[in-house]
A and B are shown apart, each in its own frame.
Chain A
Amino acid sequence: MKILVTAKRVEDPESKIKVKPDGSGIVQEGLKYKINPFDEIGVEEGLRLAAKHGGEVVVVSIGTKDVQEQLRHALAMGATRAVWVNHAGALDQLGIAALLQKVVEKEKPDLVVLGKQSIDDDQNQVGQYLAEFLGWGQATFASKVESLESEAEKNKVPAVALTADGKAVRVVREVDNGLATLEVQLPAVVTTDLRLNQPRYASLPGIMKAKSKPIEELTPEKLGVDVTPRIQVLKMSAPPARKAGIKVPDVATLVEKLHNEAKVV
């Protein structure tokens, strides 16, 4: 089984993120970066599937040379090799999906696993576009039936299950009122939710092995994709600071204020 997974480089939520005074973006200086946590879950799921059914996990990332850090991270976790689409500058979700489509056509995986969204822009679009462009089935928001504390999690069993004939995957997905189970014919696109698995920690032996694993370099030109964004970011601003709350002496005053000032009751 060949599995393609993604590894986007995103700002580490532990660093303090500030918007530039002119609203043109965020202040990059001093920021730390990491692999998008949803993607990391995708890498883990791919590794578990490959461990169970045999095969390889190929990881792809798009961006400047810096994204090699995230590729190395996935390689250290156990991915077999990496594809780096070298591109500097803005990209929108359609451009990313178009690039991934070309990579998929080149690599011909049985399954593509992506994070359902990335924690920087929270768009939740790329997996769906990609499935559409490829004309493949999709199962988004893959989750797990058991809790993450379960024995199954401890034994690192994949939550995305290959059917007995090996031609489809069964995916439990999070929906508004619970869990739904889908079966999708392979090849397919799966996007991950947070409760799918707990990604492993890269080990020192894994990190050292990753050094000699190949990273193939591609470019949008080589892939023949025009990535001119169709979406423009006009302005960024921090959410307005919340005003301090007030204390009210009793319930009557609370109801009175909710009614007359907030006009919610």
Chain B
Amino acid sequence: MSAPRPNPLLSDRDVDFQLHEVQAVSRLFSLPDFADHSRDTVSLLLESTRRFARAELYPTYRAMDEAPPVFEHGRVRVHPALRALYAGMVDLGLLTATRPPEVGGQHLPLTVHAVASAYLMAGNLSAYGYLGLTLGAAHLLEVFGSPWVRDTFMTRLYRGEWTGTMALTEPQAGSSLADVKTRATPAPDGSWRIQGSKIFISGGDQDFTENVVHLTLARIEGAEGGTRGISLFAVPSRRPEGDALVPNDVSVAGVIHKIGWRGLPSLVLNYGEAGDCRGWLVGQPGRGLACMFQMMNEARIMVGLNGVATASVAYHEALAYARERPQGRPAWAKDASRPQSPIIEHADVRRMLLRQKAIVEGGLSLLLSASYQADLAGHAPDAATRERASRLLDLLTPIAKTFPAEKGFESNALALQIHGGYGYSSEYSPESWLRDQKLNSIHEGTTGIQGLDLLGRKVIAGEGAALRAFQEEVDATVERARAAGVEAAWCDALRGALDEAATLTMELAARGLAGEVEAMLRHSADFLELFSVLAVAWRWLDQAAAAREGLKRGADGQDFYEGKLAAAQYWFAVEVPRVALLAKLCRTAEDSYARMRPEWF
């Protein structure tokens, strides 16, 4: 297979802009935990990471898509390039980067880690998948594990010697984790015997490290039903006995044939078929889901980032293609002797490109805002700031997870569309990114579940405290934009959409309090979309303000800033007006599908 043409994966200029001109990430460096970092350390890290992503990860992406893992003699063999790629990512320090020095980390702000990760994801999302899963599993052990569990499992995960998984889903328990059936019974040595079956477990087996640790949800024998009966266990594929590792009766029952993420196997795992599977309790009995949810914000931010990254790599591919592909002539020059124009000269192609840019860069900005709040929530010295940030993060999370997944899919489809018939061929990559992207609206809670979470929980949390914090953030951005001389119409439109959303939230909450829960939640998907349009408009107004400031400073890169302003204009012209329609659907509880009976279909 020939090497793919170079792809920047993300725009470096945009990354710098978002970190330093839009977010002013350096404000984080004044927090004590982050005091060791500076713009210089960040730029060195990004330099290394983007080079690694472009030179090592990206060239293996297609090969992994074309040769998915093989299941043979009960073991899974993954692509041979993964051994070096995984070691390379661990060597960069990205597994422990955000963790405290006690566990080998450097307290890197998540905001910076997110950007670095986005390059890796855009380069080869499956390869990154192992790192992301291991990071999540190790982090859970770090926070909730007993000293023995930390020593035995966490340290090896953080050193990159073993990898981790998140084993939640069962055939009857996908969206509804309350229905988890895997069982745990106490063993005399203080461990637990685990018995049950999990499905879709990503990274559940591989042949580049000697062991895999599954963070597994199971129900302790005799525990109550529902979510409060669920506990969390560390269950290794091979357990330590003395100095040796012995099989722990976790077997692979099958590999799922997937349409994307084909470098990362998703497996059916059987625990304790021979009655000899041991697990170690993590956190309190019955607190398994609560522990998991503590990590969920980060996991969902990772999914959102993945959505952005997967849309971004395809956008850059489409952009390069549109500059090169000659086809047709301008509408006013049909003279066939004139050479054909590159398709980027057609307004409709620029429409598709600008929409992708608006989604990708708006999405990245949203993810960085959410990560920024996560950094404050975890590291601000005063409790009030931490609490406010944590509420804001909770509110932003379902949006930051879903917008890049849903609109990213549309953006990936546009990248394919720009390639015309060639895009429909598997000789070109856009089709594979489109397949990859689809997962992001499914795992870590489907879009349906995110909508219910936002409307049913997040916007009304703390008697509206989260929503008020969001309003303050938007107000601050509007103020910045007005001062920078951004179009007043955009500022007014954002304020208008915010007021609409706030009023609507009150009305729907009142409906819920009055016992009309179904009518409150009926349009939760539209509510989520409304909030996504609004949140991304907020991010575009902030970017427009930073662009105006840049132009005023006479900073170089006028083209870059003009592009930002055009994308912001697009969002306010095309997307923000949809807020009114979406609000109307929610407010009137429009009942077409509510009325629809299953037998009418």
Do A and B interact with each other, yes or no?
A: yes
Let me know if A204 and B40 touch, CB within 8 A. no
B94 contact set on A, CB distance < 8 A: 204
8 A Cβ contacts from B23-70 to A: 36, 40-41, 44-45, 47-49, 51-52
A73 contact set on B, CB distance < 8 A: 44, 47
Please indicate which of the listed interface residues A29, A32, A73, A203 has the most CB atoms of chain B within 10 Å of its own CB: A203
Choose the segment among B85-93, B286-294, B315-323 that binds chain A (4+ C-beta atoms closer than 8 Å): B85-93
User: Is B102 engaged at the interface, CB distance under 8 Å to the other chain?
Assistant: no
Let me know if B45 and A207 touch, CB within 8 A. yes
User: Is A239 engaged at the interface, CB distance under 8 Å to the other chain?
Assistant: no
A210 contact set on B, CB distance < 8 A: 44
B93 contact set on A, CB distance < 8 A: 203-206
Let me know if A208 and B92 touch, CB within 8 A. no
A29–B91 Cα distance when bound, in Å, is 34
A208–B108 Cα distance when bound, in Å, is 10
A200: nearest residue on chain B (CB-CB)?
B91
Let me know if A29 and B556 touch, CB within 8 A. yes
Given contacts A30-B556, A208-B106, is CB(A201)–CB(B92) below 8 Å?
Answer: yes
Interface flags for B1-39 (1: CB within 8 Å of A; 0: not) read: 000000000001000000000000000000000001000
User: Is A175 engaged at the interface, CB distance under 8 Å to the other chain?
Assistant: no
B8: nearest residue on chain A (CB-CB)?
A14
User: Is B143 engaged at the interface, CB distance under 8 Å to the other chain?
Assistant: no
Let me know if A211 and B36 touch, CB within 8 A. yes
Majority SS of interface residues in chain A? helix
A201–B556 Cα distance when bound, in Å, is 29
Let me know if A202 and B48 touch, CB within 8 A. yes
Please indicate which of the listed interface residues B44, B106, B556 has the most CB atoms of chain A within 10 Å of its own CB: B44
A210–B45 Cα distance when bound, in Å, is 12
A5–B557 Cα distance when bound, in Å, is 35
B342 to chain A, nearest CB (A): 15
B557 contact set on A, CB distance < 8 A: 30
B206 to chain A, nearest CB (A): 19
Contact of A207 among B41, B88, B91, B556 (CB under 8 A): B41
B95: nearest residue on chain A (CB-CB)?
A204
Given contacts A72-B40, A76-B44, A211-B36, is CB(A204)–CB(B556) below 8 Å?
Answer: no
Let me know if B36 and A204 touch, CB within 8 A. no
Let me know if B36 and A201 touch, CB within 8 A. no
Please indicate which of the listed interface residues B48, B94, B106 has the most CB atoms of chain A within 10 Å of its own CB: B48
A68–B36 Cα distance when bound, in Å, is 18
Let me know if B97 and A204 touch, CB within 8 A. yes
B35 to chain A, nearest CB (A): 11
A199: nearest residue on chain B (CB-CB)?
B51
A71 to chain B, nearest CB (A): 11
Please indicate which of the listed interface residues A29, A204, A210 has the most CB atoms of chain B within 10 Å of its own CB: A204
Let me know if A204 and B52 touch, CB within 8 A. no
User: Is A107 engaged at the interface, CB distance under 8 Å to the other chain?
Assistant: no
Interface flags for B92-113 (1: CB within 8 Å of A; 0: not) read: 1110010000000010100000
Interface flags for A165-205 (1: CB within 8 Å of B; 0: not) read: 00000000000000000000000000000000000111111
A72–B44 Cα distance when bound, in Å, is 8
Interface flags for B532-563 (1: CB within 8 Å of A; 0: not) read: 00000000000000000000000011000000
User: Is B84 engaged at the interface, CB distance under 8 Å to the other chain?
Assistant: yes
A154–B45 Cα distance when bound, in Å, is 22
A30 contact set on B, CB distance < 8 A: 556-557
A200 contact set on B, CB distance < 8 A: 91
B97 contact set on A, CB distance < 8 A: 204
The residues of B with any CB-CB pair to A shorter than 8 Å are 12, 36, 40-41, 44-45, 47-49, 51-52, 84, 88, 91-94, 97, 106, 108, 556-557
| 19 more CB-based (< 8 A) A-B contacts, given A29-B556, A202-B47 | A30-B557, A32-B12, A73-B47, A201-B48, A201-B52, A201-B88, A203-B48, A203-B92, A203-B93, A204-B92, A204-B94, A205-B106, A207-B41, A207-B44, A207-B45, A207-B48, A208-B36, A208-B106, A211-B36
Some 15 contacts from A to B, beta carbons below 8 A apart, are: A29-B556, A69-B40, A73-B44, A201-B51, A202-B48, A203-B48, A203-B92, A204-B45, A204-B93, A204-B97, A204-B108, A207-B45, A207-B48, A211-B36, A211-B41
